[in-house]
Structure 1
């Protein structure tokens, strides 16, 4: 067995192919509830990828993701209720508005780091939830917002099955975009800023532009996730967009593995399922997520992605030893 036969790209392609087959077969073999859960996992995946860009890639500890998610939901839902354009227009509008607000927050956050940045973005998230709860003329406040079915070319998405192919396609596109960004020059700049601002400046990286760009992209991802959510749900309540949602997304990224696209996706799937299992115990969710975060930070700080990396490293070492013996 050669080292190339167990390389990461081969493994990635195999996993992606297996996931594609499962997702393609799923609508023909499962019930509506399962499809709802899968749709929800796709939304969580896009949310986790967005937080991965700002925290995992750039090292900016922002806690405003649930707010941008809510902006995407309310923007897409309100536009659809009022004019019922093709849902791609509604999703794009939510992503653009989230990106603009992300740009503003990014500019304000340039002077802050670490805990100060976390507190500032947390305050923005709490302020936005207050807006969702109290701007009754627009959001319907604590009564929640009822949303009309999304449509595309006269075709209305009335249930989870009809929304499923569009949700999965958008999630796949956002995953592709994340990988492309990670491998691009911008992704290298993100990681340079994460490691050291001083070193990044010495390398010619404009750290201000890079940090703001990370905030804008992360917010846009959250806005897209919010628009995706409106494709298969007809109701949103502000209480579901609070700090608990931020902690859930943060747990996905940290436990999955900071700085790892694979880890963000794995964390979104695993903890998306966990959140669904804990739906009947909402009072204990934050405690459970906090406990999981503490355990991983203590015993596996690099997250689940480090387990896969260690396994691949062992396999490569074993293959090299076999090749040396054969030589």
Structure 2
């Protein structure tokens, strides 16, 4: 008789919780859950480029913002089914991510991090100053997302769609990780030279990792427009990148379950500290530095290694 694995138990419990949640909680709690789902997709996107491909990129929030503004503008001016606007935001972000991936062909490590950081800062400047499109420092009000004429005007109405989209992106991440493509990304992460010797097109894989990661961020931005009607560029700064990076690093670089757990834990912490931004920056900075120094593989990566060691010991006993 086969028993369910801990991961399957966790997925089953999470599915049951998400199923009953709308009947048991208030609108604000649903807003927080919707926001956590967006963070999960953001963390999964960063997991692809950093955890799977080993490319240290700090431009994630820029693509998230591109997804928000693209989907928001399409919803406001043309009112298509929201899946169209979300896919448009993901596609535009993915194309720009592929272009930014050219940096990875010429830079690595700290130089790549600095270059992608500069791109993220440049995009926030664009968000803040392109007043005709983004509203500039006044922010942008967006029309509710629609599905065949049905408008999503509150968190409860958006909730099932956000959950389904998040589940789809999680499934896609796991499928990519278990595929030949995921194996090629991990070979690239370990060594460019070894990956090239194995016949892997290193240049194409690096650019595709940036494109997929950026598309995830763009889709997360589109999901955000399902339950909010306003966006301010100040929320799309480097601080958001640090929050998402903390989720991935603390959860465990290279671990899908770590990215999900980190997104939920630090998404909640970020919401709790929303009224104290200066303290939030300090806390996340200390946590990130502490894990980078003393536990760089994160929580769930170590768990995976412990499980592997126990299985090996059991096989030898």
CA distance in 1, matches of 2:294, 2:205: 32
Q: TM-score, normalised by structure 2?
A: 0.96
Question: Is 1:82 the counterpart of 2:116 in the alignment?
Answer: no
Deviation, structure 1 residue 307: 4.9
Report the counterpart of residue 108 of structure 2 in structure 1: 113
Question: Where do 1:54-73 residues align within 5 Å?
Answer: 54-73=49-68
Contact residue 55 and residue 104 of structure 2 kept, 8 A = no
Alignment partner of 1:188 is 2:171: no
Give ranges in structure 2 of 5+ residues lacking alignment: none
List aligned pairs for 1:287-326, cutoff 5 A: 287-309=282-304, 312-313=307-308, 316=311
Give a deviation string over 1:113-152, Cα, whole Å, max 9, x none. Answer: 0011001100000000000000001111000000111110
Distance across 2 between alignment mates of 1:289 and 1:51:
17
Instruction: Give the CA RMSD over aligned residues.
Output: 1.7
Q: 2:6 maps to which residue?
A: 11
- Deviation, 1:60, is 0.3
Indicate the structure (1 or 2) with the bigger Cα radius of gyration: 1
Distance 2:145 2:84 in 1: 11
Aligned partner (choices 3, 12, 18) of residue 23 of structure 1: 18
Moved more, 282-291 or 79-88: 282-291
TM-score (norm 1): 0.93
Q: For structure 1, which segment, 153-162 or 106-115, has the greater mean C-alpha deviation from structure 2 after superposition? A: 106-115
Write the distance in 1 (CA, Å) between the matches of 2:44 and 2:294. 24
1:165-244 alignment runs, 5 A limit: 165-244=160-239
Identify the residue that residue 34 of structure 1 maps to in structure 2. Answer: 29
Matched, 1:266 2:237: no
Aligned twin of 1:281: 276
How far apart are the structure 2 equivalents of 1:209 and 1:307? 30
Contact 2:44 2:260 in 1 (8 A): yes
1:70-116 deviations in whole A, cap 9, x for unaligned?
00000000111101111001001100110110011012331010011
